[in-house]
Amino acid sequence: MKQHCYALELLVRDYECDMQGIVNNAVYQNYLEHARHEYLKSQGVDFAELAREQVNLVVLRAELDYRQSLRSGDRFQVTVRLEQVSRLRFAFCQEIYRLPDRAIVLQGKITGTALGPNGRPCQSEGISALFHRVEFRSR
């Protein structure tokens, strides 16, 4: 199995924090999703084209292990590694690191599939093609 890596650097915004002054737990899923979308775009996967083909990428399972909290103004990096789980399923193994110390904040595994026009799981050519290329990108 070949792996791809991608890293995206972001900054915590004030409105993402709760009354305790830390990032709300639900916001981390937004960070992970944004990094997945940026990764797929960087690899040429076009969501508009998939929609025209009536193919939808959906999340089947989200596993998140919170290790530390981010606070307003913290810089952090979200990493993405794509794994093929089965012929129809794939997983994004992701981590969030606080910068500059690279302390691990969150580890997650997001399992997904593509649904075709009939609403049934199908192979997405865009996702399948990713398993035949290897590269690392950082933004």
Which of 14, 18, 65, 101 does the annotation list as catalytic? 18
Q: pLDDT tens digits for 20-57?
A: 999 999 999 999 999 999 999 999 998 888 888 999 99
What residue ranges define each of the domains in the chain, with the CATH number in brackets? Answer: 6-138 (3.10.129.10)
Q: pLDDT tens digits for 31-40?
A: 999 999 999 9
The pLDDT score that the predictor gives to residue 139 is 57
CB under 8 Å to 7, separation ≥6 — which residues? 77, 78, 79, 80, 136, 137, 138, 139
The pLDDT score that the predictor gives to residue 135 is 54
The pLDDT score that the predictor gives to residue 2 is 46
In the chain, which residues have pLDDT < 50?
Answer: 1-2, 136
The pLDDT score that the predictor gives to residue 1 is 42
- Residue 29 CA to residue 26 CA, distance in Å, equals 6
The closest of 86, 73, 76, 77 to 113, measured between CA atoms, is 86
18 among known catalytic residues: yes
How many other CB atoms are there within 10 angstroms of residue 39's CB atom? Answer: 25
